[in-house]
Chain A
């Protein structure tokens, strides 16, 4: 068999194949649900209800989507320039560290000054963290996939060290957790008494800004050129290495915002279970969105819905909530296949 590029992807296929990917994902999930002794239709209904069936469910889904929008954006911009940042998890944690370093009373300012200060510091820390692997890639030719992956483990241990050391909450009954951030550092809740917070608004705004950067600016153009064909970009006079550095700064900064938003908006302090793999899930979000910053919003809400819905379903139907992760991973693989099929035709002869 061979793959032949299609002159212009048809609209029918552009809709049909991704829909097929969703169906395939549901089929895989159905098999697993049946293996767990439950009825697929009942389980999917419960997932849907748990994700969007009530105001509580919707708010919970949007809350869970917030960090995924940030990590999804981080991955989307990096992958666009073919900078394989698999380290959003570490950048998220370093953003969270900056948030508790500055937000627990070390700096006292009114909210309107303190929150931007923390945000910028968190982005700066995340940006610097990805700059390292990017420099190693351009200077020494070290593959950034491996370095960013390994940095995830290093940073998690580093956070653990901080939480048992300088950042440890003396009132925490010995648990490895940081002090709570002060009121001025907290992001306001969007709805009184609900968990959805201002971080969601920042996430949407970030997606819009990222979209503008990618579509309208010189930097976005350079990033796309470098990602599509680095050799040709270099020949045309585009400073490839400098563009990769800027990409790393942008991507790392966006991922760090996830950590900032989780601490300042939701949790109030830093613990080692701040992120259940949001950095890795960001890769799925970005790919489902076909690396489009606005698509990231939809993809993040979709993925968060599966997670939130599966949690709710798991409690009532007794199917392990890991089904959500299986579905998300399956969706990633089927979706990249579907995207390929919209662009290429398989010829068996």
Chain B
């Protein structure tokens, strides 16, 4: 098969949407945090927590949706920690975020080890199954890609719409955006900047964790160490690439995922001439290139990474 023809295969686009789904959740999560003015480098660890929590809840006998909720709650808990340390205590968002990632990841591995001391190969669960949406899934090419996916992918679509709606069309979203632009505008209207920012970080972290849970509950059906594999960092790049807007970030996530799916197939076409690592590198290289492309014209939230103290202007 020629490199160009791959672009018109259904399987490519099915895979692209599957790869995009966890990125969409986590990117929306990071976007909410940053829109409120808080960089969340805990994302990689929080996704790990979510992947484990969701999977483990189901493994322990819970319902699949219960697993999603468990992941979200675990993510929100780490979001609360990150929020408290960076917002009222004003600690460095970089250092704290890295610390959250290290803590969340190692804690997950520790708990995995004590919860499943005996296992040698990772146990499996009954994961989410694809659910074809009648009529829509019959559209050629895009139908199966967009509308024959698992319910979690549909939830990812909904998440984008909900995040966009909340940010631009609700009073709470207004407060979040204002907190990221000029926190004193929030306080002057009698709203607590701390509450808005910590709340946003918790909500965003819950979404990141659901993104992680997608991997164990929809893409695969078990939990592996190192399974997040830099996806969190890519989501941070996607937020920048999307200019902190949900719609643009969604497009970025899908483009990125399509490229990722494409390089896997291209590997098979070029069959061994080019080392497979080159293809695996491409998504990361692409992320860096995308950042360079948008860096000059990015309009980032003005108060991003700026701690706020009450009474300050």
Contact = CB atoms under 8 A, between A and B. Distances in A.
Interface string A267-302: 000000000000010011001000000000000000
Task: Give the size category of A's interface with B.
Answer: 35 or more
Contacts of A319: 114
Interface stretch (B6-14, B203-211, B277-285): B277-285
A42 interface: no
A332 B281 CA distance: 31
A333 B96 contact: yes
Interface stretch (B84-92, B119-127, B216-224, B250-258): B84-92
B271 interface: no
6 contacts: A3-B309, A322-B109, A325-B109, A332-B102, A332-B103, A337-B85
A47 interface: no
Main secondary structure of the interface of A (DSSP, over half): helix
Contact of A330 (B91, B103, B281, B287): B103
B46 to A, nearest CB: 13
Contact of B233 (A141, A146, A283, A336): A146
Interface in B96-121: 96, 98-100, 102-103, 105-107, 109-111, 113-114
A161 B279 CA distance: 11
B103 A333 contact: yes
B291 A337 contact: no
Contacts, number: 137
B240 A146 contact: yes
B94 interface: yes
B53 to A, nearest CB: 16
A284 B98 CA distance: 9
A150 interface: yes
Interface of B: 41, 81, 85, 88-92, 94-96, 98-100, 102-103, 105-107, 109-111, 113-114, 229-230, 233-234, 236-237, 240, 275, 277-278, 280-281, 284-285, 287-288, 291-292, 295-296, 298, 309-311
B95 to A, nearest CB: 6
Contacts of A149: 230, 233, 236
B90 A329 contact: no
Contacts of A287: 95
Minimum-distance CB pairs A-B, first 3: A325-B106, A320-B113, A329-B103
A150 B90 CA distance: 26
Contacts of A142: 288, 291-292, 295
